[in-house]
Amino acid sequence: MAKLNADYARAIDDDRLEAWPGFFSEPCLYTITSADNHRRGMPAGLMYADSRGMLQDRVAALREANIYERQSYRHLVGLPAILGEAGAGVKTETPFLVVRIMRDGQMDLFATGRYLDVLVEEGGELRFRERIVVCDSSRIDTLLAIPL
Amino acid sequence: MSGADARTWPDATLTRVPYWVYQDEANYRAELRRIFEGPTWSFVCLEADLPQAGDFRTTFVGEMPVIVVRAEDGRICAFENRCAHRGALISLDDQGSAKHFQCVYHAWTYDLEGTLTGIAFEKGSNGRGGMPPGFSKTAHSPRKLRTATLHGLVFASLCRDAPSIEAYLGEEILGRVARVLHKPIRVLGRFVQALPNNWKLYVENVKDTYHASLLHAFFGTFRITRLTQGGGVLVSPDGGHHASYTIDRADDRVNTAYREQGIRSERQNYRLADARLLESVNEFGDDIRLQILTVFPGFVLQQIQNCLAVRQVLPKGPDSMELHWTYFGFADDTPEMHARRLRQLNLVGPAGYVSMEDGCVGGFVRRGAAAAEDEVSVVNMGGDTTESMDTRATEASVRGFWKAYRRYMGQ
């Protein structure tokens, strides 16, 4: 579980986004929301993918289509709390903190929150059946390009 | 003469906009008074946010904090979120339900219409102190705003002289609002996007039909909107409001207009791994794929395929603003339509495939024009008028914004 979280964060922070969909099972659910929306049962996400293909499309759009200033993240991921079983998977909650580093060197605390995950085993490896990214704040600075 | 009035525009044309208009502090303060607190209407919330008497939301008109609340008799009231006593915020919540409002500082109490009804220790304590006899509570209430509802949208105005919301918008724009908001909605989520630029740069961007398929490569590549498709832009007679639209999907795979101009947004080989993102339904029955509508000064109603949202533009000083997004569907959406909307919401918002760039481009203008307060930008596409056009290769609606702006500002 710790390895999955560590590999996931390294793939994003090292700009190996093409590896990112591989951390998910097929089908899967990846969405980024806020604590406020989550508490109120509001389903909309800033990003929303219910297939690995949609995750691949997100990466392709970032590489091929979308315009944003060069930037990178540094994830600090906390210890997963095991919340119980969910079908064939395990429910966990993991806190995170993401610093965004812009091309001019500006560093900001960009997002904090928790990953609400359902983990399943596929071919001897743990994968995310669900990763709901619940940001503590509903306020996003400028834009959210790279996934959290 | 105030600082705002000392600034000059190059000449009478609407095709040149000086950069000081985005930078000048005195001009910004004048905008808050003359535009946001002037004879205009600002979107404040959705009727769906206030289903029951006592339900309220807090928001802003310009920089003025306001409480919008459904009163006992069902009317929607709005008043300044400022205690009449010492000026503290009356409500500290984004939303909720209340029987009355009480300021935390000295417990002055207001009814749901914003009228001061109670003063703690009004008669003093043990016969000493208290308010002077004859102090009129009703004469000391926070400023009350007029409200108007329109197809589920709630607007507020601080100005007694503002025309009715219907007269303010005009028939054409009203029709375009009614087209989208034709039945009860369901809110799907809210997000706030903090933008590092003057509020007008974002409003211009929304009105700018010319940029959409050029800046947003995603749009062009997937043929969601291209300037070679059918569509156009409606500009209200006063210039302030607009609706741009795209009709159906042009079968322009053989059209080489973009390729010939060497435009970045033309990428022929880009295909989605999961094409469900763009599977859309002609839910309004009129083949309009995309409609972006603005109400002066800072409201946007958006239909991009089946992705629906309202956006509220809130100024936060000359160099920053907030964009408040509310995503919605309809109360009677089928599970399939609900899922479709959730997928298509990837197109918009701070992480939107087609709106991500709008979050940063205003900052690019702010930084690019940092030393150019006396220089001007060029707004000449489609000529120099503000008339509606059946093409989107025009900046008519941007010129319309400046026409309305200069009238309200007396510039």
Q: Is B125 helix (H, G, I), strand (E, B) or coil?
A: strand
Nearest chain B residue to A70 by CA distance is B360
Residue/partner pairs of B258-261 with CB below 8 Å, 24 or more apart: B258/B213, B258/B220, B258/B226, B258/B228
Interface with chain A: mutation pick from B211, B310, B346, B357, highest number of A CBs within 10 Å: B346
Residue identified by tokens 């590999």 is A7
Contact call for B189 and A54, based on CB within 8 A: no
In the three-class reduction of DSSP (H, G, I as helix; E, B as strand; rest coil), residue A55 is classed as: helix
Looking at the partner chain, which of A34, A45, A66 has a beta carbon nearest the beta carbon of B356? A66
| Kind and range of the H or E run holding B400 | helix B396-409
Whether residues A42 and B189 touch (CB distance < 8 A) is answered with: yes
Of B274, B277, B363, the CB nearest to A142: B363
Interchain pair A57, B221: CB under 8 A: no
Tell me the nearest-neighbour CA distance from A57 into chain B, angstroms: 6
Of A32, A47, A68, the CB nearest to B360: A68
What pairing do the DSSP bridges indicate for beta strands B185-195 and A139-141? parallel
A65, A69, A138 member nearest B360 (Cβ): A69
> Chain A residues within 8 A (CB-CB) of chain B?
32-34, 36-37, 42-51, 53-54, 56-58, 60-61, 64-69, 138-145
Q: What is the pLDDT of residues A42-98, one digit of tens each?
A: 999 999 999 999 999 999 999 988 989 999 999 999 999 999 998 889 999 999 999
Chain A interface disruption, residue of B58, B93, B274, B342, most A CBs within 10 A: B274
DSSP-assigned states of every residue in B196-229:
SS-HHHHHHHHH-TTTHHHH-HHHHHTTSS-TTS
Task: Check if B107 contacts A (Cβ < 8 Å).
Answer: no
Sign of CA dihedral B228, B395, B217, A138: negative
Per-residue pLDDT tens digits of chain B, which is 411 residues long: 445 556 889 877 899 999 999 999 999 999 999 999 999 999 999 999 999 999 999 999 999 999 999 999 999 999 999 999 999 999 999 999 999 999 999 999 999 999 999 999 999 998 899 999 889 999 999 999 999 999 999 999 999 999 999 999 999 999 999 999 999 999 999 999 999 999 999 999 999 988 877 888 886 666 655 666 788 899 999 999 999 998 875 454 445 555 555 555 555 566 788 989 988 899 999 989 899 999 999 999 999 999 999 999 999 999 999 999 999 999 999 999 999 999 999 999 999 998 899 989 999 999 999 999 999 999 999 888 888 888 878 899 999 999 999 999 999
- How many Cβ pairs within 8 Å bridge chains A and B? 121
Within 13 Å and on the Cβ side, how many CA atoms surround B182? 9
Distances (CA, A) of B76 to B147, B160, B327, B367: 7, 17, 22, 41
